[in-house]
């Protein structure tokens, strides 16, 4: 039985994601696989490549042939060079870890307020009924009664003298 290490396409239209699989060479591209040995996501920046190195080394040692695309991936991870006994390639680019926005916000708040006292936050699961009386009490103290604006006396006087708006043209 001829065994190949190849890509099995997953994902959506215009967003391909692949699994690196060991499969019989006579099966369909997306057919049944013998073993899943990694993933490849080319649309991410940098591309996500995860390979189970020891399993790939095993399958290469028993005669599995990688497809051209998989061979290029294995060259980037260094598994192909390890199998052939060549020097290792430079390390892969790794995406920066995502920053926890809440932790960053709290750190900025502490820096702004000084280390003396950290701001306290109400519980996330607080009911709306409990929060409503506090808001109702605070609202009247913050708002000022609005006095009606006084009309422009000059504009009112002009319109009273010349209701049709003919102005200087009529004179």
Model confidence pLDDT, tens digit, residues 49-87? 999 999 999 999 999 999 999 999 999 999 998 898 888
Kind plus residue range of the DSSP H or E element containing 22: strand 15-24
Q: What is the pTM of this model?
A: 0.55
What the block records as the tokens of 43 is 């649309």
The structural architecture, per CATH, of the domain 3-84 is 2-Layer Sandwich (3.30)
Q: Where are the domains of the chain?
A: 3-84
Cα–Cα distance measured from residue 77 to residue 113, given in angstroms and rounded to the nearest whole number: 47
The 10s digit of each residue's pLDDT in 117-143 is 545 665 565 555 555 555 555 555 555
- Cβ atoms of 69 and 58 within 8 Å: the answer is no
| 3-class state of residue 139 by DSSP | helix
């Amino acid at each position: 039985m001829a065994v190949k290490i190849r890509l099995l396409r997953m994902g959506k239209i215009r967003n391909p994601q692949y699994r690196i699989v060991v499969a019989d060479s006579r099966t369909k591209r997306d057919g049944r696989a013998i073993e899943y040995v990694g993933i490849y996501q080319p649309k991410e920046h940098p591309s996500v490549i995860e390979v189970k190195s020891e399993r790939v080394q095993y399958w290469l040692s028993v005669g599995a042939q990688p497809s051209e695309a998989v061979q290029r991936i294995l060259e980037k991870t260094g598994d192909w060079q390890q199998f052939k006994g060549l020097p290792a390639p430079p390390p892969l680019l790794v995406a920066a870890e995502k920053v926890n926005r809440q932790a960053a916000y709290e750190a900025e708040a502490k820096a702004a307020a000084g280390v003396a006292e950290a701001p306290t936050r109400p519980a996330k699961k607080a009911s709306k009924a409990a929060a409503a009386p506090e808001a109702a009490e605070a609202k009247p103290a913050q708002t000022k009664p609005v006095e009606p604006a006084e009309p422009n006396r000059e504009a009112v006087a002009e319109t009273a003298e010349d209701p049709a708006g003919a102005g200087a043209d009529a004179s």
